Amino acid sequence: MKTIRLLWGIHNHQPVGNFEFVFEEACDRAYAPFLKVLARHPRVKIGLHVTGVLLKWIADHRPKLIDRIGELVDQGQIEMWTGGFYEPILPAIPDRDKIGQIRKLTRYVEALFHQTPKGMWVAERVWEPHLPKAMAEAGVEYAILDGMHFRYAGLDKKDLFGYYVTEEQGVSLKLFPINEALRHGIPFSPVKNTIDYLRRFASEDGTRAAIFADDGEKFGIWPSTFHSVYEEGWLEEMFTAIEEHGDWISSIHFSEYLASESALGRIYLPTASYIEMMEWAQPARTILEYKVAERFLEAHGKMEEFRKFFKGGFWRNFLAKYPESNNMHKKMVRLSDRIERLESEGADPGLLDEARDELWQGQCNCPYWHGVFGGLYLNLLRHATYEHLINGERAADRAEGKKASWIACEKTDFDKDSYPEILVESDLYNLYFKPSEGGALFEWDYKPKSFNLLDTMTRREEAYHSEVATAGGENGKSIHDALGAKEKGLERFLHYDSYRRSALIDHFIRPDARIEDFAACRYEELGDFVTSPYEDGIIEKKGKLSVVLRRHGSVQMGAHRIPLLLEKTVAVKAGQREIGIEYNLRNESAQNVALCFGVEFGVSLLAGDAPDRYYHTPDADFGDRTLRSTGAAPDVSSIALTDEWSGIDVRFSFDRKAKLWRFPIETVSQSEGGFERAYQSSVIFPHWSVALKPKDVWRVRIVQEVVDRK
């Protein structure tokens, strides 16, 4: 009789910073009912990976679910897998953190279930050839990857019914290929289709292994799956069929297969992830070209034949595609390097352990990329990453012996683009400046609350925006009906920014410019300051530090460009909340000039409509004060953005009364539920009419600060 081995794996994960109700729903609708069905079928065995953040949440909030897993482990039905505790993209973090995170989850699994994991789930199956050495050093014997990884190395589908061995610097690791047909069919195709597929590939010697491994959320959380998997009984039917066909389908653990069968060969895999991830990692325009090529191959019946040669991008390209992702990544690497340095200097081990765990939480992969799910576009996930990284920095400050009041400055290529940034750090704030791009302030951390106030997204084109823009046309269905958008008319919010959204962005606009055009980035910029390089200087005095940013630029006036010197000086004192910003504009032409000059500040307090987050000013009645509101007010000398939830006021004051515009930055992105509009930040734009005679200087002083609410 022809027989086959069935190896089944489940990966359960929730990101750091996700809502409590999401954890609860995932447990109640996916994780718990899956295990309940599994327990009724003792001859079905699975490998189970639960990320550390989720496993700890379950232990704290659903201890009976831990007991259920433990019982199934003891009965031999579950083989636990390890991985990075907080589910990092392994190639994106230093080796020391790879090893540390894997060991942390392994120890936690051992403590809960008295079993030492030997297998590992690789986050998002993002693979690079250097990984085996670090993984093996962390105690991993085997890992599970997509079958496409192996096909990119030259194998055919028929070669993927077993495992292979790879190595790095002489250190070996065993790799299992996930069966593509099973991954796409389970749990969506009829059970009979899966059984027929297994029968087709069963062999006389019975050595073949059909490998299924995928997200546990497919079994209850994905749209309509709770109904099909549990209410209609798909999973019950599947496990029953496995047992009923037990004479030729052998459900075994991955480790059991390793113990009984030899490797199919040695292999060296290229950089890869699952097909969709490599598509998403490409620039938007390239994705559209990729889709054209894909459709061409499909139309000519060649897609399957040439699929292994048809590879998209590379995960790390997300760091180039999205500066916001790169910002978090480089902050994370900088903190990791700092912890390693402090450890070599003999700093307090307890404080370093605290800093390291915060660092590792800040390595959770979800906010570093974007595909069909929210990811990077979800501000709560980015906020959680920054919160943990800033917490880690604060612990490192204490380990370094920083005083209660201190300030320091470093000029370094923070974002690794070959241009230096200026990093000002104190007991209260981190202020990161980018002289090469408009002298902008691109990160402003309020350290007592571990809050990056400039954590926003630039509105940029995504490949799927072509669907949003065309689906509501005359010849098609509305966007709402055709694409399952969460609200109608989303195409109205498809605006693209010509510069990165941040703060201290210097604009010269037409006197008759309209707020709606400025908010949509459809206005005319008359100056050459927004994205151009500034000269920089740092003035340090005892307890005080000033960053001077200067540009000899020009402004368009009629048919002429008028030379103008713009200098902004940002002064910060140790222990002081007020950040003083002095602007000097000097007319370097031989004629009188009349300008409209303004400074853009973008502040992200996470919720645009929440009643506990709002604007307030003594100088105007905004009517709608929510952070998602749009409006203009004359003669404003101060404004604050309040976050009662976090307990802070972000305040701005101007020594010259300004005309003030306010508007939200909202993105249109794709999520599990369709296209959605997401609030990212609130922009305030104080601007002034400036008249200058030749060589005259115009000045304004702005003060920004964060104040804790009582």
Give the residue numbers marked as catalytic: 124, 215
Q: Does residue 448 have a cis peptide bond before it, meaning omega lies within 30 degrees of 0?
A: no
- Return contacts of 610-617, CB within 8 angstroms, 24+ apart: 610/645, 612/642, 612/643, 612/644, 612/645, 613/641, 613/642, 613/643, 613/644, 613/645, 614/641, 614/642, 615/639, 615/640, 615/641, 615/642, 615/662, 615/682, 616/640, 616/642, 617/660
Residue with tokens 């009789």: 1
Angle at 53 between CA 48 and CA 59, to 5 degrees: 75
Burial of 36 (0-12, 13-18, 19+ CB in 10 A): middle
DSSP string, 35-75: HHHHHT-TT--EEEEE-HHHHHHHHHH-HHHHHHHHHHHHT
560-573/451-452 β-pairing? unpaired
Q: How many CB atoms lie within 10 A of CB 353?
A: 13
- Residue 610 φ/ψ, nearest 5 degrees: -65, 135
Separation CA 176–CA 649 (nearest Å): 53
Separation CA 528–CA 513 (nearest Å): 17
Is residue 384 within a helix (H) or strand (E), and if so which, with residue range?
helix 379-399
Q: How many CB atoms lie within 10 A of CB 416?
A: 12
Residue 602: strand pairing partners = 683
Burial of 586 (0-12, 13-18, 19+ CB in 10 A): middle
Residue with tokens 């209660």: 404
And the tokens for 376? 């990077």
Separation CA 420–CA 422 (nearest Å): 7
Residues 6 or more apart in contact with residue 270 via CB below 8 angstroms: 129, 149, 152, 153
Coil vs helix vs strand at 149: helix
Q: Which amino acid is at 105?
A: L
Separation CA 380–CA 390 (nearest Å): 15
And the tokens for 349? 């081990």
Alpha-helical runs (H) found in 212-311: 225-226, 234-244, 254-260, 275-280, 284-299, 303-306
Q: Which amino acid is at 686?
A: P
